Every structure is written in C-alpha cells, then in structure tokens.
Amino acid sequence: MFRIGFGNDIHRLVEGKPLILGGIKIESDSGADGHSDADALTHAVTDAILGALALGDIGTHFSDGEERWKNAESFVFLRYAAGLMKEKSFTVVNVDSTIGLENPKLRPYIDAMRESLAVALEIAESCISVKAKTGEGVGAVGERRAVRAEAIVLLRRN
C-alpha cells in the first residue's frame, strides 16, 4: 500500500538569525524567524510525512506555545515523524521538495541538504530531491521577506 503526503511552510526572514534549511546552515545576511530553528524545508518534509499518515501536522505534535520546543532543532520533529511512520510499518519511497528563497543561491548546499535528510529518514540520497527557486523579485519570497518550502512524499507499507 502507498500513501502520499504534502507539506509546506513559510518563515519570515530577519537579520541576526541563522538560516537553516534541511539541517544545513546557509551563509546569509538574514535568517529565518520562528519558535524552533525555523528550518522551513525540514518542517515541510515532516508535515508531508505526517500528512501521508493522516496524523495531523507539526503543530499537532509540537505546540509552539511550549517552552521546550523553543530553538529546537527541527530534525527532532523529523525523526519523531519518521518514528511514527516506522511504527505503522511504512518507509519513504521518495521525497521531492522545492525551496523558495531569493538569495543566496542554494545550489552549493543542495547535496548536503539531500544527504542530511536521507540520513534522518534512513533512505538513499538518490530518493531525496531538493530544488530551489527564487521569487523573481515579487511576493514575500521575491522581496526577501520570507523563505518558503514545499515537499511531497510517497510512503510504502512494508
């Protein structure tokens, strides 16, 4: 049996915060604001897995009102979702994702993000796709006010 899931996420960009995407620190003069480490890609992938299992979203499992999740590393959320997936005897077939960020260019970081997500999900890097697009100068992404990520995941029951 197969299940498909979709996730998306957006975080405001502010000065003086780190920019972390897919668990990788991106050299940037502005970073993502949020309760956890604000890793939009990891949040989107986590939501896609939870969505495929029809188990709500990150907010259902990790309330942003809770102090213990402040500055939390988003891979804690991803590994938690992967654990629920395993409990239900599912594995990830593949992940496809797109990050929306005006700058810097993400190409130098793409393979590192794929590798870190692959390690967390215990699948081959070849099963993880990470793409990047600018906002063409318009909207919240184009005006450098936000970073956005979208992810889709296919799960297979073993």
- Report 24-53 residues binding Zn ion (CB under 5 A): 43
Q: Which helix (H) or strand (E) holds 11?
A: strand 2-15
Question: Which range in 7-15, 82-90, 93-101, 141-149 contacts Zn ion by CB under 5 A?
Answer: 7-15
CB of 9: closest distance to Zn ion in angstroms? 4
How many Cα atoms within 13 Å fall on the side-chain side of residue 126? 0
Binding mask 64-103 for Zn ion (x = CB under 5 A): ----------------------------------------
State which residue has the least CB distance to Zn ion: 43
Retrieve residue 15's tokens: 């000065």
Q: Which is nearer to Zn ion, 91 or 116 (CB)?
A: 116
C-alpha–C-alpha distance, residues 55 and 22, integer Å? 22
CB of 46 to Zn ion, least distance (A): 9
Looking from the CA of 134 toward its CB, the CA atoms found within 13 Å total 11
Candidates 2-10, 64-72, 97-105, 123-131: pick the segment binding Zn ion (CB under 5 A).
2-10
Pairing mode, strands 146-157 and 90-100: antiparallel
Residue that is written with structure tokens 């999900």 in the block: 121
C-alpha 87/C-alpha 6 separation (Å) is 20
Residues 124-143 that bind Zn ion (CB under 5 A): none
Among 3, 9, 22, 46, binds Zn ion (CB under 5 A): 9
- Listed residue (107, 106, 37, 93) closest to 69, CA to CA: 37
Q: Which region, judged by CB under 5 A, interacts with Zn ion, from 3-11, 17-25, 85-93, 139-147?
A: 3-11
Q: Which residues bind Zn ion (CB under 5 A)?
A: 9, 43
